[in-house]
Amino acid sequence: MADLQRILVTGATGYIGGRLVPRLVDEGRCIRVLVRNEARILSRPWYGQVEVVTGNVLDPQALSEALHGVDTAYYLIHSMSSGRGFHELDIEAARNFGQAARDAGVGHIVYLGGLGDPQANLSHHLRSRQETGQALRESNVPVTEFRAAVIVGTGSISFEMIRYLVERLPIMVCPKWIYSLIQPIAIDDLLEYLACALDTLECKGLTIEVGGRDTTTYRGVMQGYAAARGLRRLLIPVPVLTPRLSSYWVHWMTPIPADIAAPLVEGLRNDVVVTNDLARTLFPHVEPQDYASAITGVLRDLDEGRIDTSWSDATGTSTAPQELVRLESRQGLIIERRRRSVAAPPRRIYRVCTGIGAARGWYFANWAWRLRGMLDRLLGGAGLRRGRRHPDELRVGDALDFWRVEALEDDRMLRLRSEMKVPGNAWLQFEVRQAQDGTTQLEQTAVFSPKGLAGLAYWYALYPFHAWIFRGLIRAIAWRAERTPAPPS
């Protein structure tokens, strides 16, 4: 039975692990996660449903604790963000993990590596991914190694690199790797393979190549995304453009830093396609999507602002609790997050947030909101004339000036989706959480998904004005909540 197996997931703060954990939890599995910093998963919906061990794979004591009593362990970590020495660190970590798994009596390790012909001149990154699998097998614990190419999903680092370039550059000068063959796979299909490995005994000890229904080129991947977004893009191949130069270009045009972009770009010169039908034989019920369907899923997630995990979740340092404002760009979204401590209970702050707009106005610089409403009307939008259905109550789907209520959680969260005429999609979200010191943390998040260069130009041209508005808005909400009488129970 599923609930009799204890399963360890490493890399639970990363892109794949962070999506696999909730899937396994929903299946009723008994899950333990190994994370370097427990604070990174406190806000995950599944946090209270898993066992947490804090440590890393280079810490023997943490590994022993994490692997004790485990039947199957998922190894979903890599050290690429560590810099040029990532290969040696990956091998050392894999050997430590394999030995600890053997000592703990683990019966099965599931690992996600990279596609590519091992007999070819593989890039440093792809070679490292395959040698990491071999290092795990040295432990003599049965290893199922899945090998995949670009994962099509919001937050996947390889796909995000491609997507950012397509979004931001109408004309791209590309090296000859744009003609390399690739078999991208949708994130949902990859998760299906990973989850099914738990109950497919025949896959133990095997290396399984997985991919989507279509084989294409990187040029085809970029043009397919551009077509789905309604963007016209010109790709001009050139005979010489080194991976190092390409990585610097990626560094400046996307949120991916050069030290991570360099090994990724180098790997684009290799064909990464499935060469056998082992995946179909072992998992006949899995019907991988074609590339167009995978892209449709990505755009749907972006339109709905649903980004479950990201490649950047497992990098960098945690945000300090006292940090008040942070601006970041991830998965094609530009995010401005502000946080403020408020000396009022969550219910009172929530009532102030949900009472915004219409006759009450927008609490700060209301003249600016009215001006924006008039401009929106001139452009054919709704403007501010719609007001709101009820002065004090909101429901999902309600119009609120030039916003629409997209999500509500009583006394906790309000999310508004913009219906203004802008070159992209925008959201404004308010969240309230009770802190241990008796105050309440109010978090205000403005999110913009730009469409092409026009969207980027719109955001950055108006950001100084937006920053002033959003800074004043969160202060005005806090001021009102601290001075408003408590609402009735």
449-476 pLDDT per residue, tens = 888 778 888 888 888 888 889 999 999 9
Question: Is residue 371 domain-shared with residue 295, that is, in the same domain?
Answer: no
pLDDT top residue among 336 and 143: 143
Whether 276 shows a pLDDT value over 70: the answer reads yes
Tell me which of 45-54, 204-213, 303-312, 459-468 is least confident: 303-312
Where does a domain end: 314, 333, 354?
Answer: 314
The first and second tokens of residue 277, run together, are 């039908």
Number of domains in the chain: 2
Host H or E run for residue 347: helix 346-354
pLDDT at 262: 64
Tell me which of 26-30, 48-52, 246-250, 333-337 is least confident: 246-250
Question: Is residue 309 domain-shared with residue 346, that is, in the same domain?
Answer: no
Question: Is residue 146 domain-shared with residue 216, that is, in the same domain?
Answer: yes
Whether 137 shows a pLDDT value over 90: the answer reads yes
- At 89-103, the pLDDT tens digits run 888 889 999 999 999
Tell me which of 1-10, 81-90, 194-203 is least confident: 81-90
Question: Is residue 271 domain-shared with residue 417, that is, in the same domain?
Answer: no
First and final CA of the chain: distance in angstroms?
45
Cβ(405)–Cβ(395) below 8 Å? yes
Confidence of residue 30 (pLDDT cuts 50, 70, 90): very high
Tell me which of 31-35, 330-334, 361-365, 457-461 is least confident: 330-334
Q: What is the rounded distance in angstroms from the CA atom of residue 75 to the CA atom of residue 108?
A: 10
Sign of the CA dihedral running 455, 260, 297, 236: positive
Tell me which of 135-144, 187-196, 317-326, 439-448 is least confident: 317-326
Question: Is residue 333 domain-shared with residue 216, that is, in the same domain?
Answer: no
Q: pLDDT averaged over the chain?
A: 83
pLDDT at 259: 60
pLDDT at 429: 93
Q: Which residues contact 178 (CB under 8 A, 6 or more apart)?
A: 217, 218, 219, 222, 235, 237
Question: Is residue 368 domain-shared with residue 280, that is, in the same domain?
Answer: no
Whether 46 shows a pLDDT value over 60: the answer reads yes
CATH of the domain at 125: 3.40.50.720
Where does a domain end: 314, 344, 371?
Answer: 314
Whether 483 shows a pLDDT value over 90: the answer reads no
Question: Is residue 358 domain-shared with residue 475, that is, in the same domain?
Answer: yes
The first and second tokens of residue 154, run together, are 């919001």
pLDDT at 313: 46
Where does a domain end: 314, 344, 365?
Answer: 314
Question: Is residue 178 domain-shared with residue 306, that is, in the same domain?
Answer: yes
Of 287, 112, 129, 117, residue with least CA distance to 197: 112
DSSP, residue by residue, 160-215: HHHHHHHHH-SEEEE-GGGGSEE--EEHHHHHHHHHHTTT-GGGTT-EEE---S--
pLDDT at 124: 78
Q: What share of the chain is helix, strand, coil (3-state, %, to 5)?
A: 40, 20, 35
Residue 426 domain boundaries: 325-483
Question: Is residue 147 domain-shared with residue 18, that is, in the same domain?
Answer: yes
Confidence of residue 85 (pLDDT cuts 50, 70, 90): low
CATH of the domain at 394: 3.30.530.20
- At 403-414, the pLDDT tens digits run 999 888 899 899
Host H or E run for residue 457: helix 452-483
366 is a domain residue: yes
191 is a domain residue: yes
